[in-house]
Amino acid sequence: MTIQLDLIQTTGLAVLIYMLGRWIKTKVSFFRKYFIPAPVIGGLLCSLLIFAGHQSGLFEVSMTNTLQDFFMNLFFTGTGFTCSLAILRKSGKLGAKLAIGAVLFLIVQNLVGVGLCSVFGINKLLGVAMGSISMSGGVGSGASFGPTLEAFGAEGGTTIGVAAATFGLLLGSITGGPVAEYLIKKYNLKSTASVSEEETEEKHLLVEKSFFNSVLLILLAAFVGSYISKLLQLTGLSFPYYVGCLFGGALFRNIADARHLDLRMHEIDVISNTCLNLFLSMALMSLNIAKLVDLALPMIVILLAQAVVMMLWAGIITFRTMGMDYDAAVMAAGHCGVGLGQTPNAVANMSAVIERNGPAPTAWFVLPVVTVIFINICNPIIITFFINLLK
């Protein structure tokens, strides 16, 4: 029996999958502790159910995923709006050194993935899927680049990328703390900042007119980004379509900064996150789980190797280039979070260290801003280079 879902039904199922994942997350502390996204939880459960139906011969599910790419491109357009050069300049030389280190590590991640894939005798493009695509890029990147990898013969690229990114969320949360604690004890580091009074959280109100203007702004940035994507194709490299949308958002943000125009970034974040959740729900609920079976052991080895390399890089390179002080140790913990997981993992890692050992204001400002901007901009370019080199 084949269950055919049209556009509305597929979107509705994605919504139900997201709501299921969100409900499960409220009930299971493990998912909350390691920042596993709700669409990942619900989407993987759905894909496992579909896999069971396929294996048993009871049913097949055919979906209409037309809106999947639409939501993906709008999400990356919104992400581009976070790439503010004005904010980046405030981080100074320390931010520049962190940026260089973060970008170089993207290359290292891909070299580790590709090298180990060569040892295991599997498609080297899957090494990129288990490299910076999934580790520094996250679930969204894994689901976005997967089809490109598969088009070049890396069977199961989407499933492997998403699975690796999901595992990376866990690794990112459990590696940062030990690295920071080791550095703090070894070098007898202490916080030199005073504890400031707790500030009340600013409440962001959504106003219909301004919210609609933010929607229009993202759509216009994506429109411009679509032409940037065409220009990128002239380079002869195979850039995914969403990279142009990312640069479109970044272009609009920096024009607004230069002209001192007020952007309601909270609204842009709401729109971007809404698109991300719907995109991930659609992408994950149709994963082909069967592709993971044959690669389970190599993938585990590669991901554990990525975690070890990340810890060494953070403990040696990041720590030393950031000044070998307490803030540098906190940034090493944060780099583990963002290098294996996502920004929330980095913030959580730093929060845990700060709660126990005292404030680290420099680390708190510099690391999230710099890594978000440079990883978002440079990672797609580096990934594209590796794909074109290995295809």
User: Per-domain residue ranges for the chain?
Assistant: 68-191+279-390
Residue-level length of the chain: 391
Cβ atoms within 10 Å, residue 120: 15
At residue 99's C-alpha, the angle toward residues 125 and 174, to 5°, is 70
Reduce the DSSP state of residue 56 to 3 states and report it.
helix
Per the model's pLDDT, the better-predicted residue between 61 and 284 turns out to be 61
- Name residue 4's beta-bridge partners: 62
Round the CA-based radius of gyration of the chain to a whole number and report it.
21
Burial class for 297, CB neighbours closer than 10 Å (0-12, 13-18, 19+): exposed
- Name residue 148's beta-bridge partners: none
Residue carrying the six token digits 């520094």? 136
> Among 87-101, 127-141, 187-201, 290-304, where is mean pLDDT lowest?
187-201
Token pair of 292, please? 């993971």
User: Tell me, what's the pLDDT at 202?
Assistant: 46
Pinpoint the alpha helices (H) of 152-207: 157-187
Residue 197: pLDDT band with limits 50, 70, 90: very low
Which of 289, 127, 264 has the alpha carbon at shortest distance from 205? 264
> Among 78-82, 95-99, 193-197, 358-362, where is mean pLDDT lowest?
193-197
| Side chain identity at residue 74, one-letter code | L
Question: What are the φ/ψ torsions at residue 251 (nearest 5 degrees)?
Answer: -60, -50
- What lies within 8 Å, CB to CB, of 355 at 6+ separation is none
Residue 204: pLDDT band with limits 50, 70, 90: low
User: Tell me, what's the pLDDT at 196?
Assistant: 46
Token pair of 320, please? 């030393």
Residue carrying the six token digits 């209409």? 64
Which of 346, 327, 350, 347 has the alpha carbon at shortest distance from 337? 346
Q: How far apart are the first and last CA of the chain?
A: 37
Residue 203: pLDDT band with limits 50, 70, 90: low
Which of 13, 73, 8, 1 has the alpha carbon at shortest distance from 286? 13
16, 8, 164, 40: CA torsion to nearest 10: -10
Q: Give CA–CA dist 128/23, Å, rounded.
A: 33
Q: Give CA–CA dist 360/324, Å, rounded.
A: 13
Whole-angstrom CA distances from 39 to 136, 235, 236, 273 are 19, 35, 35, 11
Model confidence pLDDT, tens digit, residues 303-339? 999 999 999 999 999 999 999 999 999 999 999 999 9
Per the model's pLDDT, the better-predicted residue between 289 and 252 turns out to be 252
Pinpoint the alpha helices (H) of the chain: 7-27, 29-33, 38-56, 66-80, 85-89, 92-120, 124-129, 138-151, 157-187, 208-233, 241-258, 265-284, 290-293, 296-313, 319-321, 326-340, 343-357, 361-390
> Among 33-42, 334-343, 350-359, where is mean pLDDT lowest?
33-42
Q: Give CA–CA dist 158/149, Å, rounded.
A: 8
